[in-house]
Structure formats: structure tokens, C-alpha cells
């Protein structure tokens, strides 16, 4: 596996970083994403994409999705800095993977196709009512 760097468009301070590094596996000259991204919209874990790193700084500015996985991505923003340990425990019990960036009060959730969508939405609704914000940059479940 290799760390692949994506250049991010920062607009009015968002996202809070200019680069996101993700783990990828090389497959026939393309990349297969092996973790859940925090800021790269349009990619989910196990997606295969084509990209040419910039010759000057080795960052990716554009990509082409080659093969879509059946996984989804949900982003979490905890602006109220609530204790979300119970949320993380419950989301993992549903078979999801959670990665956090506590410094920025952010989380990224990998949602596999085996996830019970009804229970997932119920959990999201419960924590949204407590003040957690969610975004669905890649949603492939019915």
C-alpha cells in the first residue's frame, strides 16, 4: 500500500487542511482506496480510480472513478464537542468503520452494504437530535 496525497480546494478556511493523504493499493496502474476519506467527495473505500499525481508536488488534483464499490461514506461534524464514544460503539456494532480527526471535531464513517439501513438511520437521527451534523458525500445503499 502507498499513501496518496490529494490537493484540496480550501474555501474560506474549509476544509481545515490543504491536503488529504489516503491509503491506496496499486492495481494495473490505477488506485484502489483502502480507507475512508475525510474530505475527498466522490470516493468511498474500495473504489478504484485513475489519477496522475502532479509532477511538481506529487499531489492528485483530479481523478476518474473506474470502479465503484458498494460502500458508502458519511461525514460527521461534532461542533458541540459532545462525547460520541457511545455513537462510535454503536456504529461499529452495525458493521461500519469509524475514523476520527478529534483536532477538527470530524469523523468519517465507512458504511458497508451489509449495514442495516433502518438501524443506521435511526442512530444518525438520534445523534443529529443531540447536535451532531452529518453529510453523505457518497451514499450507495437503498
The per-residue pLDDT for range 69-97, each reduced to its tens digit, is 999 999 999 988 999 999 999 999 999 99
The pLDDT value recorded for residue 63 is 93
| Grid coordinates belonging to 70 | 458498494
Backbone angles phi, psi at 5, to 5 degrees: -100, 130
The pLDDT value recorded for residue 10 is 85
Q: What is the 3-state secondary structure (H, E, C) of the chain?
A: CEEEEEECCCECCECCCCEEEEEEEEECCEEEECCCCCCCCCCCCCCEEECCCCCCCCEECCCEEEECCCCEEEEEECCCCCCCHHHHHHHHHCCCEEEEEHHHCEEEEEECCCCCHHHHHHHHHHHHHCCCEEEEEECCCC
> For residue 142, is pLDDT > 80?
no
Tell me the average pLDDT across 88-111.
95
C-beta separation of 139 from 72 below 8 A: yes
Q: What is the pTM of this model?
A: 0.91
pLDDT band for 53, please (50, 70, 90 cuts).
confident
Q: Alpha-carbon distance 59 to 69, whole Å?
A: 23
> For residue 138, is pLDDT > 80?
yes
| More confident call, 65 vs 10 | 65
Select from 37, 2, 7 the least CA-distant residue to 23. Answer: 2
Q: Which domains, ranges and CATH numbers included, belong to the chain?
A: 2-67 (no CATH), 72-138 (3.30.70.2380)
The pLDDT value recorded for residue 112 is 97
Amino acid at each position: 500500500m502507498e499513501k496518496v496525497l490529494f490537493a484540496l480546494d480550501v474555501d474560506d478556511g474549509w476544509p481545515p487542511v490543504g491536503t488529504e493523504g489516503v491509503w491506496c493499493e496499486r492495481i494495473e496502474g490505477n488506485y484502489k482506496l483502502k480507507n475512508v476519506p475525510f474530505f475527498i467527495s466522490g470516493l468511498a473505500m474500495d473504489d478504484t480510480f485513475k489519477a496522475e499525481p502532479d509532477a511538481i508536488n506529487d499531489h492528485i488534483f483530479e481523478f476518474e472513478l473506474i470502479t465503484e464499490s458498494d460502500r458508502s461514506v458519511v461525514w460527521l461534524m461534532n461542533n458541540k464537542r459532545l462525547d460520541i464514544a457511545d455513537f462510535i460503539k454503536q456504529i461499529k456494532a452495525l458493521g461500519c468503520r469509524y475514523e476520527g480527526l478529534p483536532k477538527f471535531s470530524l469523523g468519517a464513517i465507512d458504511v458497508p452494504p451489509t449495514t442495516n439501513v433502518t438501524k443506521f438511520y435511526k442512530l444518525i437521527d438520534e445523534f443529529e437530535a443531540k447536535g451532531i451534523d452529518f453529510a453523505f458525500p457518497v451514499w450507495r445503499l437503498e
